[in-house]
């Protein structure tokens, strides 16, 4: 059995409160910069899972006053907590085992260590995390079934699946790179 003290989970995913604040600040600042440049923070997700911002907007003072005000870190935290509770409700409504809820919650929390809620709507990420957790924990639920059960478009879940997975892929790549470099 693996020892937690020597695990990659502890080494790469356990953060001090200060480290968490720094990660949330970095994501928040990136979203604020996108708002200033593009007039929106929401990234567009294509059917193939690729991300893009809309075209940059022309800057003028009249438009600046009509732009939405960016969220601060505390407001983002409120949104994350709200959708963490919604995630629990969705899992309960589908009678998913606790391990699916726990896995989905970990995916959700880790996703928002990299991204701001202003860049990717938490409702979309929450549903995608539940779907991904079902796949990982081998409790088959199709995206169509999940979407239909909560009156959401299943294509949105499928579109965001790659983005949620990329957080894990990036982590795995960085971990393997560090491991390789330490061996050399």
- The yes-or-no verdict on residue 113 having pLDDT over 60 is yes
Using 50, 70 and 90 to split pLDDT, how confident is the model at 62? very low
Residue 9, token pair as written in the block: 């989970």
Q: What is the b/e burial string over 50-86, where b = at least 16 CB atoms within 10 angstroms of the residue's CB?
A: eeeeeeeeeeeeeeeeeeeebbeeeebeebbeebbeb
User: Which domains does the chain show, CATH number per domain?
Assistant: 13-183 (1.10.472.10)
Residue 45 bridge partners (DSSP): 51
Task: Please give the model's pTM, rounded to 2 decimal places.
Answer: 0.81
């Amino acid at each position: 059995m693996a020892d937690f003290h020597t695990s990659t989970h502890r080494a790469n995913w356990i953060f001090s409160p200060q480290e968490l604040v720094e990660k949330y600040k970095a994501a928040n600042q990136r979203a604020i910069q996108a708002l200033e440049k593009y007039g929106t923070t929401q990234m567009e997700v294509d059917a193939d899972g690729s991300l893009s911002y809309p075209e940059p907007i022309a800057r003028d003072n009249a438009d600046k006053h009509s732009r939405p005000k960016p969220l601060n870190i505390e407001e983002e935290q409120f949104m994350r907590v709200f959708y963490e509770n919604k995630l629990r409700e969705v899992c309960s409504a589908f009678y998913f085992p606790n391990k699916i809820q726990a896995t989905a919650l970990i995916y959700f929390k880790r996703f928002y260590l990299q991204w701001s809620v202003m860049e990717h709507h938490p409702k979309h990420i929450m549903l995608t995390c539940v779907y991904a957790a079902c796949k990982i924990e081998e409790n088959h639920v199709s995206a169509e079934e999940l979407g239909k059960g909560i009156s959401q478009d299943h294509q949105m879940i499928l579109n965001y699946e790659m983005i949620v997975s990329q957080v894990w892929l990036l982590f795995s790549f960085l971990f393997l790179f560090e491991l390789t470099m330490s061996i050399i």
